[in-house]
Amino acid sequence: QSVLTQPPSVSAAPGQKVTISCTGGRSNIGNNYVSWYQQVPGSAPKLLIYDNNQRPSGIPDRFSGSKSGTSGTLGITGLQTGDEADYYCGTWDSNLSAWLFGGGTKLTVL
């Protein structure tokens, strides 16, 4: 069981918006930046968001991130079938001196 809690699955129709939550605690999300990764089956994960809300070069602005307290949120607008993937949050835990991943959320675009 992950220290960072994500919903196992979310779904929405093409063109719609979806949000994925990631809930942790004071020692991890509460005091550190949140990152988000996308993993298409059979491929390595790809960084979508870092430092809570920053997009790496090449990531479209349909992807956004935010943080409030001990929770982070990934938002995806204008859903496309190509967005179907597993999404993971990640952050540093200051008590453990270790990086944590959430359990992952499977996005289905209906």
Give the tokens for residue 70: 């001990």
DSSP code of residue 83: G
CB nearer to another protein: pick between 13 and 58: 58
Of residues 18-77, those binding another protein (CB under 8 A): 37, 39, 44-47, 50-51, 54-57
Task: Provide, rounded to whole angstroms, the least separation between the CB of residue 3 and another protein.
Answer: 11
Q: Which of 38, 78, 30, 74 is nearest to 58 (CA)?
A: 38
Return d(Cα 80, Cα 83) in angstroms, integer: 5
Task: Kindly determine how many residues on this chain lie close enough to bind another protein according to the rule CB under 8 A.
Answer: 25
CB nearer to another protein: pick between 15 and 49: 49
Return d(Cα 10, Cα 32) in angstroms, integer: 25
- Single out the residue of 7, 25, 75, 103 in contact with another protein (rule: CB under 8 A): 103
Q: Which of 71, 69, 92, 76 is nearest to 38 (CA)?
A: 76
Asked whether position 87 contacts another protein by CB under 8 A, the answer is no
What residues line the site for another protein (CB under 8 A)? Answer: 2, 37, 39, 44-47, 50-51, 54-57, 86, 88, 90, 96-104
